[in-house]
Each structure stands twice: as structure tokens, then as C-alpha cells.
């Protein structure tokens, strides 16, 4: 199976390359699109969902130069593999948890993924490590143009691209960055950040996007409104606001380094011990420790390779652990396996 070779790589969004990658883990752009002549997914029965998949695939396959793409049908996939895809951010939590005919079409290097039959017929995503929104939008714009020539999109003169939920109407565009803000979170300044974002109509959410909690100082920042602004205006707003948050976080980190150096070292030591000396570790504990260690690595206080940290981020997640062990584990078994895996990875330099 294709996934067996694929799942061992770390994926685009954890490559640790690109602009401001010490704070912006990754940039992501998503477009919601529906195809004319079919009911939206939530209103479609099994037969109709099958037809949507068939029709979309048939037409996408006509596009030249779509090499290195993999198509997987989630309804025919091992349930743990579905969650492996979710943990890699190739599909959403909703898409993983849904039932019925649905699929994902993604580029082998994990920079492009197309969810089929999620809430909308198509959810097209592009990812890039680091802070690179403008470049991503350019790529997405061109890709969307090609798709539009093969698939008749549902479009309305006033409402723009029609989506199942009115919150995505218009451009169907969600632009987001995954931020690592340990400095601001530890010094309890996230409220201030949050308040500052309100006037820009931006929102901060958890590690896995909508409806999820923040794990280990990681936050997803994205636009709230999708209608009434051009795509470029939406991208520009984030391009303008994110550097301010980056600067704010850097100031706090510098302050910690100069004023609270011993506290900072204590925090890092505790995180490293927490990760290496436990018999059992939950996902939340692991993310918390990894977040502190990631901070230490970027402040050049810990001589650990950043790729090792990113590897742990992904492979300590439940479905990845189970994939590695080759079976479904109980929570206790998983926490034990995670603790051992973290210890071995960190200590084997």
C-alpha cells in the first residue's frame, strides 16, 4: 500500500525550512469549492456521494502534469490510516470522522492535498514550511484556475463561490499560519494578542484547527471572513499582522533570555527530563515538553537537532504510534510506547 512508504517521511509542514520558521511552523491556504449539478455533501446520499467522487476524479485525471499524486478512498482505508492522514494535516478531523464515500488526492511531497466530499465537494489545501503566504496563494490561484477549466464550479454573482456553510462563502478562502508562541503563552500575553486580532477579523485556534484546543503553545491564526474581500486582500492582512506577532514573541524571548535566564533553564531542564525520564506520556504532556524544547533549540540553549523535534511532533501522535507498532493500542499502552519512543529519540544523538 502506498501509505506504507509514505508515512515514514516527515511532510512539508514540518520541514523546518523557510522564512521565520522558528515561530511560523507552516503556512497553509485552503479553498472550498463545489461542483455544479450535485447536492452539497451533507445533503447527498451514498449513491450521490459516489457520483460526485467519480465525476471529480474523472475530470481531475484529464489534467496534464499532475504527476506524483496519490488518491486514497477513506471509506476503503484502514481506520488507523485515516487518522494517520489527519495527524499529517492532509485531511481534517471532520473528514476523518465522517462516513460514506470520500477521498483525498494529494501530492507525494504533501504540499498539496484535495479533500473530496468533506463538508464541500472539494477542499483544496496547499502547505509550505515557514512563513510564505503570498507565494502559496500564487500557486493556489493557478492550480484553482486549472481545476476550474475541468470542473464546473458552483458560483453566484453576489455570493461568489457557493459553499455548504455560509461562513465560507465568497472566496472560499482560509489562509492560515501555525504559530509557535511559547514566550507569549508562558508570560500570559495571549489575551493581548487575541484582542489585537479582533479588529483585523482574524482568529486564533488550536493545533488541529477549528474546534480544537491549543496543544503546547501552538496556535493556528486564520482569517474569519471570506466574503467581500479579494483573495489578495485576505492574504495581505495576514502578511501584515503575522510579522507583528513574530516581533512580539521575539521580544518576549529576548527578555526571558536576559532577565529570567535561570527560570528559562529550569523550564528546559524540566521539559527534557519530562520527555526522557517518564514511563508514561500523554499527547498533551508530550506536546507541552516538545514546545519548551523547541524554544530551547531555537534559542540555541539545547544542542538537539530541530528535525528530531519535528519528527517527535508527528510520530508521537496516537495513530502514528499505532502505525509504528502495527496494532491498535490501549491508552496506557500508547502512553508507555510514546514515553519510550521520546526517550530513545532524544537520547540517541
Partner 1 sequence: MLCEKCQEREASVFFVEIKNKEKEQHSLCDVCSHQASSYIEKPTFSYSLHDLLNQFLQIITSKAKENIAHEAQGLVCDFCHLSYKDFQQTGRLGCASDYTIFRKFLDPLILNLHGKAKHTGKKPKEAKASLKYIEDEMQLADLQKQLKEAIAEERYEDAALFRDKIMLLERRMHGTR
Which region among 78-86, 191-199, 285-293, 296-304 touches partner 1 (by CB under 8 A)? 191-199
Nearest distance in Å: CB 159, partner 1: 6
Residue among 163 and 322 whose Cβ is closer to partner 1 = 163
- Residue 309, C-alpha cell as written in the block: 523535534
In the stretch 124-143, what mask flags binding to partner 1 with x, by CB under 8 A?
-----------------xx-
Interaction of residue 119 with partner 1, rule CB under 8 A: yes
Phi/psi at 29 (5° precision): -130, 135
The yes or no reply on residue 171 touching partner 1 (CB under 8 A) is yes
**Phi then psi for 290, rounded to 5 degrees?**
-60, -35
DSSP secondary structure of 130-179: SS-HHHHHHHHHHHHHHHHHHS-B-EETTTEE--SSGGGTBT-EEEEEEE
Q: How far apart are CA 67 and CA 80, in angstroms?
A: 27
Using DSSP bridges, classify how beta strands 160-161 and 69-73 pair: parallel, antiparallel or unpaired: unpaired
Q: Which stretch binds partner 1 (CB under 8 A): 123-131, 146-154, 175-183, 245-253?
A: 146-154
What is the nearest approach in angstroms of partner 1 to the Cβ of residue 202? 11
Instruction: Give the three cell numbers for residue 344.
Output: 530513545
Torsions phi, psi of 237, nearest 5?
-55, -45
| CB contact at 8 A, 168 and 124 | no
Residue 64 binding partner 1, by CB under 8 A: yes
Residue 110 makes contact with partner 1 by CB under 8 A: no
Rounded distance between C-alpha atoms, residue 312 and residue 342, angstroms: 7
The verdict on 71 binding partner 1 (CB under 8 A) reads no
Instruction: Report d(CA 113, CA 199) in Å as an integer.
Output: 31
Nearer to partner 1, 199 or 258 (CB): 199
- Subset of 213-232 contacting partner 1 (CB under 8 A): 213-214, 219, 224-231
Q: Which CB sits closer to partner 1, 36 or 305?
A: 36
Window 254-313: residues binding partner 1 (CB under 8 A): none
Give the three cell numbers for residue 182.
511559547
Residue 320 · residue 314 · CB < 8 Å? yes
Say which residues have a Cβ less than 8 Å from residue 51's Cβ, sequence separation at least 6: 38
Q: For the CB of residue 111, give the shortest distance to partner 1 in the complex, in Å.
A: 16
47 binds partner 1 (CB under 8 A): no
Using the minimum distance from each CB to partner 1, give the nearer residue, 47 or 145: 145
- In the complex with partner 1, which residue's Cβ is closer, 224 or 344? 224
Element (H, E) at 184: helix 182-186
Determine which helix (DSSP H) or strand (DSSP E) holds 300, and give its type and residue range. none
195 binds partner 1 (CB under 8 A): yes
Q: What is the 3-state secondary structure (H, E, C) of 13-38?
A: HHCCCCCCCCCEEEEEEEEEECECCC
The residue range among 85-93, 163-171, 252-260, 261-269 that interacts with partner 1, by the rule CB under 8 A, is 163-171
| The three cell numbers locating residue 99 | 462516513
Rounded Cα distance between 328 and 330, Å, is: 7
The Cα 252–Cα 189 span in angstroms is 10
Among 58, 79, 159, 251, indicate the residue that binds partner 1 (CB under 8 A). Answer: 159
| Binder among 61, 194, 240, 255 for partner 1 (CB under 8 A) | 194
Shortest Å, Cβ 185 to partner 1: 9
Could you say which of 36, 251, 331, 344 contacts partner 1 (CB under 8 A)?
Answer: 36
Return residues touching partner 1 (CB under 8 A): 34, 36, 38-40, 42-43, 64-65, 119, 141-142, 144-146, 148-149, 152-162, 164-167, 169-171, 173, 190-191, 194-195, 198-199, 201, 203-206, 210-214, 219, 224-231
Amino acid at each position: 500500500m502506498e501509505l506504507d512508504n509514505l508515512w515514514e517521511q516527515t511532510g512539508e509542514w514540518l520541514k523546518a525550512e523557510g522564512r521565520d520558521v522558528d515561530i511560523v511552523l507552516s503556512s497553509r491556504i485552503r479553498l472550498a469549492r463545489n461542483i455544479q449539478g450535485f447536492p452539497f455533501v451533507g445533503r447527498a446520499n451514498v449513491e450521490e456521494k459516489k457520483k460526485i467522487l467519480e465525476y471529480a476524479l474523472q475530470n481531475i485525471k484529464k489534467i496534464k502534469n499532475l504527476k506524483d499524486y496519490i488518491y486514497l478512498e477513506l471509506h476503503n482505508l484502514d481506520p488507523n490510516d485515516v487518522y494517520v492522514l489527519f495527524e499529517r494535516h492532509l485531511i481534517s478531523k471532520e473528514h476523518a470522522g465522517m462516513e460514506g464515500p470520500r477521498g483525498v488526492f494529494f501530492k507525494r511531497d504533501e504540499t498539496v492535498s484535495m479533500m473530496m466530499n468533506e463538508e464541500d465537494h472539494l477542499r483544496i489545501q496547499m502547505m509550505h514550511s515557514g512563513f510564505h503566504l503570498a507565494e502559496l496563494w500564487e500557486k493556489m490561484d493557478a492550480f484553482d484556475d486549472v481545476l476550474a477549466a475541468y470542473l464546473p464550479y458552483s458560483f453566484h454573482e453576489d455570493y461568489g463561490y457557493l459553499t455548504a456553510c455560509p461562513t465560507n462563502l465568497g472566496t472560499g478562502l482560509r489562509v492560515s499560519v501555525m504559530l509557535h508562541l511559547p514566550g507569549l503563552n508562558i508570560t500570559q500575553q495571549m489575551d493581548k494578542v487575541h484582542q489585537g486580532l479582533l479588529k483585523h477579523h482574524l482568529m486564533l485556534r488550536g493545533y488541529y484547527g477549528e474546534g480544537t484546543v491549543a496543544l503546547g503553545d501552538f496556535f493556528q491564526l486564520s482569517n474569519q471572513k471570506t466574503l467581500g474581500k479579494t483573495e489578495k486582500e485576505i492574504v495581505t492582512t495576514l502578511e501584515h499582522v503575522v510579522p507583528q506577532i513574530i516581533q512580539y514573541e521575539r521580544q518576549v524571548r529576548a527578555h526571558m533570555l536576559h532577565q529570567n535566564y535561570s527560570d528559562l533553564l529550569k523550564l528546559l531542564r524540566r521539559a527534557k527530563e519530562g520527555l526522557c525520564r517518564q514511563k508514561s506520556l500523554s499527547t498533551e504532556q508530550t506536546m507541552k515538553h516538545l514546545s519548551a524544547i523547541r524554544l530551547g533549540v531555537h534559542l540555541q540553549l539545547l544542542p538537539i537537532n530541530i528535525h528530531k523535534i519535528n519528527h517527535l511532533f508527528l510520530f508521537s501522535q496516537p495513530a502514528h504510534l499505532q502505525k509504528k507498532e502495527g496494532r491498535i493500542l490501549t491508552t496506557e499502552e500508547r502512553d508507555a510506547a510514546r514515553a519510550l519512543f521520546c526517550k530513545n529519540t532524544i537520547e540517541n544523538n
